[in-house]
Structure 1
């Protein structure tokens, strides 16, 4: 079995829906064991209420939360980890950053060296820092010693200009709209599925499984 874990942060469920699509693609690869996790939410309940996120959070309340005591098994124990984070001013969210900042002891053990890492994202506007979020995320993965996999141009859906769509060679993405009302399009979801398959196939080859 090749073990692929998908770790995401989401508020209004856009990144969650992309995570599920990534998982769908990964599960198409024979011998793949795929599990989806979410990172702990650090925003206070009253802030989530003001953001209108209480109901959207319920959509993925069934997804297990990765806690510090799970890092070794869930993160370092996988052949590939695919991370999903909304963009915040061109960077990953603080919630995702908190998890990565907690990997120091595993980094010190070289626990991630040779593992496959990949990233997908979402933003409120068409550009909105999607590429910079993924690229700056890659910096951390490189420090961990991971092998970065993006979304190659063999996934031709990222070439579309007949509709608004996310997606770049760095990774799949979706555009949520300023008010969060736009849901991931089928084009964006298909790119996420492609990324899931692509990462899993590469992880399988590297792991010799």
Structure 2
């Protein structure tokens, strides 16, 4: 089994719900498995402020998770059109991974959630791609051949899976959001397996 890392930060559960659907999509591809990980919250002085082991949900990510994976799905809520501080803090600490080229040539995709329909999802996805390009990753989006991309009235973009949570932060995904997140997971797994087979 080739493992694909699904790494996310979620504040109210929406990004976690997307991560779970992406993982389902990955598991639908024979020979692929999802390794789901998260990052801890940070304080206002940018230090990790949670226990070393999360109280619930997946474990916190380690450098070995990045080295071991054959692909990466990266998710964060939208914060003024950019990723949330905990994910940015984690990515900013990956100099060793970058120097070692641990992610070079591996496929990646991004996903996000916002409270409002025009809450900056697409700019968040695009800015999340920038550090992945610096790591030499190969970026994948969602093609318009996925019919849900043409019918969704909530989340879903060609840049990556998204969810519109609303002002109350509801983490219940629409049928289209689920379909697109799973399609993104399948696409990432299929490409990752092809590339891993050529190495």
Structure 2, unaligned stretches of length 5 or more? 45-53
Alignment of 1:62-141 (within 5 A): 62-66=57-61, 70-71=62-63, 73-141=64-132
For structure 1, which runs of at least 5 residues remain unmatched after alignment?
Answer: 45-56
Q: How many residue pairs were aligned?
A: 189
TM-score by length of 2: 0.90
Q: Which residue of 1 aligns with 2:187?
A: 198
- Return structure 1 stretches of 4+ with deviation > 6 angstroms: none
1:43 is displaced (CA, Å) by 4.8
Identify the residue that residue 3 of structure 1 maps to in structure 2: 3
Q: 2:137 aligns with which of 146, 149, 164?
A: 146
1:174 equivalent to 2:141? Answer: no
In the TM superposition, residue 120 of structure 1 has moved relative to its aligned partner by 0.5
Please, what is the CA RMSD of the aligned residues? 1.7
Residue 190 of structure 1 and its aligned partner are, at CA, apart by 1.2
Cα distance in 1 for partners of 2:43, 2:146 equals: 36
Q: CA deviation at 1:179?
A: 2.2
Aligned 8 A contact 2:9 2:76 in 1: yes
CA deviation vs aligned residue, 1:76-124 (integer Å, no higher than 9, x gap): 2210010110000000001000111111011012221101111000001
Q: Give the TM-score of the pair, scaled to structure 1.
A: 0.86
